[in-house]
Chains A and B, each alone.
Chain A
Amino acid sequence: MSEQQLFKVTIDNITIEVPAGTTILNAARQIGGDVTPPAMCYYSKLEGSGGKCRTCLVEVSKGSEKDPRPMPKLIASCRTTVMDGMEVKNITSEKVIDARAGVVEFLLLNHPLDCPICDQAGECHLQDLSYDHGKEGTRYEFERRTFKKHDLGPYIQLHMTRCILCYRCVYTADQLSKERSHGVLDRGDHAQIATFIEKSLDNEFIGNVIDVCPVGALTDKTFRFKNRVWFLKPMDAHRDCPTCSGKVTLWNRGDEVYRVTARKDKWGEVEDWICNTCRFETKNTSDWVIEGPRAIDRHSVIAQGHYQGSVGMHKPTETFAAVNDGRAPHLLMDIHSVSEVNKDSSL
């Protein structure tokens, strides 16, 4: 096999070499930090996703080494592949920042902003996006759009008013399950996620639509209103599951498992799809083999809920001997162990 061709691409003045066929967004993710455009609809695990939300728009100031002309319009970085010598401006472009603020405003236009009662709050990509790229207020003075309530069965709660129509759940259902039972009905601003004539979704893997949903449009009915996500401690755990990999993240408070989700990487994308049984039906700590705490560094709020070695998971190392030439400490009254402090020394 021939060696994979590498393309040199410069994003916000940082140059990186990536294999041909990489999208601008994925190249920027390799650099990381603020250079990475936000993405609300793109999902690397779902074929065909992306291009719809327009939050990842970037300016291409130089097309390639061969054709250095800049691209006339801002382009969706999630669906545009890099060319050799391409120069991309993300946060260094005024046009991009302006357009992105516009997109955030559009996305929030009809969003109910019911974060105080939304289960997604704290791990919501739309919250993050509006904190990072939005304006303080809205200029929209009209009634926000509402929809007829739609029941998707015992596990999944649909809040169509919160939906940003990223189509991720549609692709997930399409690509994970054999028969497709939900999609987008109607068009324009009255387009909605729905099943045909109120069917409930009952596929074994359909629970994954909750994990891919960037907002609180699809939430877990078994976790609904039970707890705020930032009060929960994420723990990696696994079990022997006949249907899926069984690798999950448990969200605990004390010893109680409040919810089970798939493990998500730092871009908020699912690492392994999990089945409905693991997600909705297996909520005893004894069902799981706990591997340890899960560090989450993407979301601002839920990242606060880490154990971070404070609750006895990591035993603090004894450093005294190391800094004292190997000598054991001489403590007052010959107390040589913490546990001896409260003992009656006369015994």
Chain B
Amino acid sequence: MSVKLLLAKAHVEGIRGFDVYRREGGYQSVEKALKQMNPESIVEEVKKSGLRGRGGAGFPAGMKWSFIAKPEGVPRHLVCNADESEPGTFKDRYLMEFIPHLLIEGLIVSSFALGSNDTYIYIRGEYAWIVDILEDAINEAKANGFLGKNILGTGFDCEIHVQRGAGAYICGEETALIESLEGKRGNPRIKPPFPAIQGVWQRPTVVNNVETLAAVVPIINMGGEEYAKIGVGKSTGTKLISACGNINKPGVYEIDMTISVEDFIYSDEYCGGIANGKKLKACIPGGSSVPILPANLLLKTAKGETRYMNYESLSDGGFASGSMMGSGGFIVLDEDQCIVRNTLSLARFYRHESCGQCSPCREGTGWMEKILHNIEYGKGKISDIDLLWDIQRKIEGNTICPLGDAAAWPVAAAIRHFRDEFEWHVNNPLEAQEKNYGLAHYADPIHVPVTA
């Protein structure tokens, strides 16, 4: 059993309510932070902890906090990004649904550290029932003096507001989220200025993922240095992984980032192996945007080393032979899955979710979907594969926000690693309608050149 910091108490009966949560040691970090610490020392602890943003990009949270501008007389805001819409990612939903007070506790401490008197939770519209859970938790916290005016007699005021989105993936991008929170169309802003300087209503703002803010609680309770001892290298602490796809035990797991990918998939503590006794073909390890990896590159890096479930190891080899930790949406595909069809599904998603503001993403995502549709339904040409490659190359990096990259990477990785499957689809259009390419050589060991 590895260390559990966030979900350790998630199965205690009644933990969703304030009384049980408090009895189990909840809200200690608020008492510690507000009474014994000052905002600067909290930011310092978070920096020491090495906590990295859990929303996907993995940017150090303490660093992000220290960037916030502090102009005289201008309110600052903390915004919690609960717009979890990445296909394959459902960890925040679990956390908010089962242990909502952990997020509220983290929000209070973080609001104190950043000087935010009005803190917002921007939650995806489809999580309608979680809004009620969060608002109940907020009301309970308020009734017990942990929110509202003069919290615990320290003179710190804080209100938490829950704002529902209207069902747009793009509003998970922090500047689009801010626009949407302000009541506008959720188009990403052009950066700079960054939210830390001009965010919500032109005020300095920090936007953090649910899990990041929840992780502040154990950091304050145990101290940043202790927290940094969990995990390995720059991947400190624990990470929630939402595992899904063709595995025996889909669900949300908390890992301490020292476990290998192979153990994570096959051990009974976690995914419990591939369902129905099939073989592993491919995996998208960090939510739909990150590059897909074939089984052989997933379990071992190109250098032949074991791949671990952490930021560095998953991205080992760059995009040529690696992937990303992303948001922790671990999607497993078995030998019966078709990579072309999977890529088409993702391309359709990104075409549907593009905001349409900048041209490469607006036009390119639709084009890629149409070509993939042709290939999948037996009307593709060999030249389409190179065309897809060229389109994704012209989208990536040329857009306002990372949605363009997120749309380009899955297509690029699928072609990079599964080109022969695409070619098989093109060359055997009739056969491809009835059966799949299968596992082929995707699990074969990779030849590692020996260096003298």
In the complex, what residues of B have CB within 8 A of residue A79's CB?
190
Chain B residue, CB-CB nearest to A104: B359
- How many inter-chain residue pairs (CB < 8 Å) link A and B? 87
Q: Are A102 and B394 in contact (CB under 8 A)?
A: yes
Instruction: Check: B139 CB closer than 8 A to any chain A CB.
Output: no
Interface segment, one of A12-20, A184-192, A296-304, A309-317? A184-192
- Shortest A82–chain B CB gap in Å is 13
Q: Are A103 and B359 touching (Cβ within 8 A)?
A: yes
Stretch at the interface among B229-237, B262-270, B322-330, B361-369: B361-369
* Residue from the set A73, A106, A186 with the largest chain B CB neighbour count within 10 Å: A106
Q: Which of chain A's residues has its CB closest to B363's CB? A: A106
Q: Which residues of A contact B359 (CB under 8 A)?
A: 52-55, 103, 106-107, 164-165
- The answer on a CB contact under 8 Å between B190 and A189 is no
Q: Is the CB of A109 within 8 A of B355?
A: no
Tell me if B161 is interfacial: C-beta within 8 Å of chain A.
Answer: no
The residues of B that contact A105 with a CB separation of less than 8 Å are: 394
Contact yes or no, A188 B394, CB < 8 A: no
Task: Please give the distance in Å from A231's CB to the nearest CB on chain B.
Answer: 32
A278 at the interface (CB under 8 A from B): no
B190 contacts A188, C-beta separation under 8 Å: no
* Inter-subunit contact A103/B398 (CB<8 Å): yes
Does B387 lie within 8 Å of A188, measured CB to CB? no
Q: Within A124-143, which residues are at the interface with B (CB < 8 Å)?
A: 139-140, 142
Determine whether the beta carbon of A189 is less than 8 Å from that of B356: yes
**Residue B218 at the chain A interface, CB threshold 8 Å:** no
**B32: Cβ under 8 A from any A Cβ:** no
Question: How many chain A residues touch B (Cβ–Cβ < 8 Å)?
Answer: 34
* B135 on the A face (CB < 8 A): no
Q: Are B387 and A109 in contact (CB under 8 A)?
A: no
With A and B bound together, what is the CA distance between A73 and B354 in angstroms?
A: 20
Say yes or no: B190 contacts A51, CB within 8 Å: yes
List chain A residues, Cβ under 8 A from B394.
Answer: 98-99, 102-103, 105-106
Q: Is B75 an interface residue (CB 8 A)?
A: no
B12 to chain A, nearest CB (A): 42
B414 CB → nearest A CB, Å: 20
Residues from chain A with a CB closer than 8 A to the CB of B352 are 188
Known: A102-B360, A106-B359, A188-B354. 15 other contacts (CB 8 A): A54-B360, A74-B398, A98-B394, A103-B394, A106-B394, A109-B367, A165-B357, A165-B359, A184-B185, A187-B168, A187-B353, A188-B352, A188-B355, A188-B366, A191-B356
Cross-chain pairs A/B with CB under 8 angstroms, 23 sampled: A51-B190, A52-B357, A53-B359, A54-B360, A54-B398, A57-B398, A73-B398, A99-B398, A103-B398, A106-B360, A106-B362, A106-B364, A107-B363, A140-B367, A167-B357, A183-B185, A186-B356, A188-B352, A188-B354, A188-B366, A189-B363, A191-B355, A191-B362
Task: List A residues at the B interface (Cβ < 8 Å).
Answer: 50-55, 57, 73-74, 76, 79, 98-99, 102-103, 105-107, 109-110, 139-140, 142, 164-165, 167, 183-184, 186-191
Which residues of B are interface residues toward A (Cβ below 8 A)?
A: 168, 170, 185, 190, 351-360, 362-367, 370, 387, 394, 397-400
6 closest Cβ pairs, A-B complex: A102-B394, A191-B356, A51-B190, A106-B363, A188-B354, A189-B366
